[in-house]
């Protein structure tokens, strides 16, 4: 029998959990790693969402080796070049500890039936308070532009003018 601390998940499973978690946090737009957009800093977030003028980024790690390799990416070495006003790692329990985290990063653990907040969240979930980063908005906008451009090329863009009953 596998204990909660021995949970094994694939990267793809973690990404879907990250996408759902971002939606639960009020992100109205969420992209997951299957969405490939060319950005000048070459960052491809596993999951990124936007809410209330803020971006939340999640990097999913299914192995400790992947987490350690992440540290050497240029946009991690220079944090102001990375996306996300809030940045989190999502992993199985205890794979990454709070002591392993780069400054400003939060930590989420993926348990069998829930994603648990471990570290790095604003008080009372006030995302505007003390955001640890000023995400590189030019790269986030490149992602948004790429998504909208795809809608235009596929003939779906005009649907944004349709009235939605909220």
Q: What is the percent of the chain with per-residue pLDDT over 70, rounded to a whole number?
A: 93
Q: What is the mean pLDDT of residues 10-20?
A: 96
pLDDT at residue 60 greater than cutoff 70? yes
Per-residue pLDDT band for 38 (boundaries 50, 70, 90) equals low
pLDDT at residue 149 greater than cutoff 60? yes
Task: Report the mean per-residue pLDDT for the chain.
Answer: 88
Q: Are 136 and 82 in contact (CB under 8 A)?
A: yes
Q: Of the given ranges (37-41, 104-108, 156-160), which has the lowest mean pLDDT? A: 37-41
Q: What is the mean pLDDT of residues 61-87?
A: 91
Q: pLDDT, tens digit, for every residue of 78-111?
A: 888 999 999 999 999 999 999 999 999 999 999 9
């Amino acid at each position: 029998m596998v204990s909660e601390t021995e949970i094994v998940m694939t990267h793809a499973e973690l990404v879907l959990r990250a996408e759902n978690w971002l939606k639960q946090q009020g992100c109205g737009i969420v992209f997951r790693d299957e969405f490939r957009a060319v950005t000048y800093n070459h960052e491809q977030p596993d999951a990124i969402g936007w809410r209330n003028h803020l971006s939340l980024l999640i990097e999913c790690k299914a192995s400790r080796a992947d987490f350690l390799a992440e540290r050497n990416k240029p946009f991690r070495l220079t944090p102001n070049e990375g996306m996300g006003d809030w940045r989190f790692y999502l992993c199985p329990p205890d794979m990454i500890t709070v002591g392993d985290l780069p400054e400003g990063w939060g930590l989420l653990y993926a348990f069998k039936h829930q994603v648990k907040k471990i570290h790095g969240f604003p008080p009372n979930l006030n995302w505007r308070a003390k955001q640890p980063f000023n995400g590189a908005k030019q790269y986030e906008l490149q992602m948004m532009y790429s998504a909208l451009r795809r809608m235009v090329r596929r003939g779906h863009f005009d649907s944004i003018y349709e009235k939605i009953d909220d």
